[in-house]
């Protein structure tokens, strides 16, 4: 890709920074050889680029500002509308038509490694005498790790919800347009909030179960200590404790009172922790 610093065209765009940003985005995204876009599967020609809803955020513009600057580029002749993709899923194909600012140079023999330095076109490597090899296209501006991680999470979520056939293709498309749209980011955040709320509820339930188990064990230990203290008392005091316990019972239960009954003995043990200290003193 070549950059031309021609005065009038550049001066016009400098007065409209969003239009210049969009033109730069299209130029960096434009195909340098005819082929299929990996994210959408749309066939693109040299100089064509795919636009989408996320491009407004990519250039720091509102959706309205994005539409205005796109119309300006078309009206001024910098780009033309090639086609709209089916269902408006991926956006619109725009083609750079004026090389007043940016010119996409097709991939040809002038782009092979090993050409003599100074040769017209983009060349890499030492002067001639070396075996020529095609230079691979490398994105000079890799996405920030935070954006890539966010996109990876969204693609995983979309796949879990059955909306993705090609995860890598969708990821490449989202990164190429500058990240998630507001709706996609909102969907991802709502999923994260729901997941966090579910995890919080599970932690609270786990903490409650642990607390109840600890309280149950403490009560069991108290009953065991009180029963041991009761058995250590003298027989007359034991009889006094049992009489006091019997007096607290319901009249129907008191009438058939017997420590040989498991239910009565269990009730006595549960009653002892709150009363045994009085009788020990």
Question: Residues 115-148: pLDDT tens digits?
Answer: 333 433 333 333 343 333 333 444 444 567 778 8
pLDDT of residue 153: 92
Confidence of residue 8 (pLDDT cuts 50, 70, 90): low
Cα dihedral 155, 158, 164, 170 sign: negative
Question: Residues 28-74: pLDDT tens digits?
Answer: 888 888 888 776 777 888 888 888 778 888 888 898 888 888 888 88
Question: Residues 205-261: pLDDT tens digits?
Answer: 999 999 999 999 999 999 999 899 888 888 998 888 898 898 888 888 888 888 888
Q: Name the nearest CA neighbour of 144 among 172, 179, 168.
A: 179
- Domain 1-108 falls under CATH 1.10.3470: no
pLDDT-wise least confident of 14-23, 124-133, 188-197: 124-133
What's the Cα-to-Cα distance from 194 to each of 155, 162, 166, 182, 187, rounded to whole Å? 17, 19, 26, 18, 11
Using a 10 angstrom Cβ sphere, with 0-12 exposed, 13-18 middle and 19 or more buried, the burial of residue 89 is exposed
Question: Residues 230-241: pLDDT tens digits?
Answer: 888 889 988 888
* Average pLDDT, rounded, for the chain: 78
Q: Taking 60 as the threshold, does the pLDDT of residue 104 lie above it?
A: yes
Q: What percent of the chain has pLDDT over 70?
A: 77
Distance CA 222, CA 273 (A): 6
Using a 10 angstrom Cβ sphere, with 0-12 exposed, 13-18 middle and 19 or more buried, the burial of residue 148 is middle
Contacts of 27 (CB under 8 A, 6+ apart): 1, 49, 96, 101, 102, 104
- For residues 166-170, give the mean pLDDT: 88
Q: Is the CB of residue 188 less than 8 Å from the CB of residue 157?
A: yes
Confidence of residue 88 (pLDDT cuts 50, 70, 90): very low
Query: Where in the sequence of the chain do the CATH 1.10.10 domains occur?
Result: 1-108
Distance CA 245, CA 225 (A): 18
pLDDT of residue 139: 46
Q: What percent of the chain has pLDDT over 90?
A: 19
Q: Is the CB of residue 102 less than 8 Å from the CB of residue 3?
A: yes
Confidence of residue 112 (pLDDT cuts 50, 70, 90): very low
Q: Taking 70 as the threshold, does the pLDDT of residue 194 lie above it?
A: yes
- For residues 158-166, give the mean pLDDT: 88
Q: Is the CB of residue 178 less than 8 Å from the CB of residue 52?
A: no
């Amino acid at each position: 890709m070549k950059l031309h610093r021609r005065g009038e065209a550049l001066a016009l765009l400098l007065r409209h920074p969003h239009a210049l940003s969009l033109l730069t985005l299209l130029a960096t995204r434009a195909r340098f050889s005819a082929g299929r876009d990996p994210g959408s599967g749309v066939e693109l020609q040299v100089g064509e680029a795919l636009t989408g809803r996320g491009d407004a955020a990519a250039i720091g513009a509102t959706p309205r500002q994005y539409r205005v600057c796109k119309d300006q580029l078309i009206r001024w002749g910098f780009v033309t509308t090639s086609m709209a993709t089916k269902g408006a899923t991926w956006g619109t194909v725009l083609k750079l038509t004026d090389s007043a600012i940016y010119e996409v140079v097709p991939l040809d023999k002038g782009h092979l490694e090993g050409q003599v330095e100074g040769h017209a076109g983009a060349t890499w490597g030492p002067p001639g005498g070396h075996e020529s090899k095609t230079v691979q296209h490398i994105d000079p501006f890799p996405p920030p790790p935070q954006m890539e991680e966010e996109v990876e999470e969204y693609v995983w979520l979309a796949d879990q919800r059955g909306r993705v056939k090609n995860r890598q293709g969708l990821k490449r498309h989202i990164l190429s347009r500058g990240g998630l749209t507001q709706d996609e980011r909102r969907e991802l955040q709502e999923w994260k909030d729901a997941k966090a709320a579910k995890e919080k509820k599970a932690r609270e339930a786990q903490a409650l179960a642990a607390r109840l188990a600890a309280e149950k064990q403490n009560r069991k230990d108290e009953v065991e200590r009180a029963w041991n203290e009761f058995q250590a008392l003298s027989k007359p005091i034991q009889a006094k404790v049992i009489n006091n316990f019997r007096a607290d019972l319901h009249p129907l239960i008191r009438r058939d009172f017997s420590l040989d009954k498991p239910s009565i003995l269990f009730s006595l043990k549960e009653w002892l922790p709150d009363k045994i200290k009085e009788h020990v003193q």
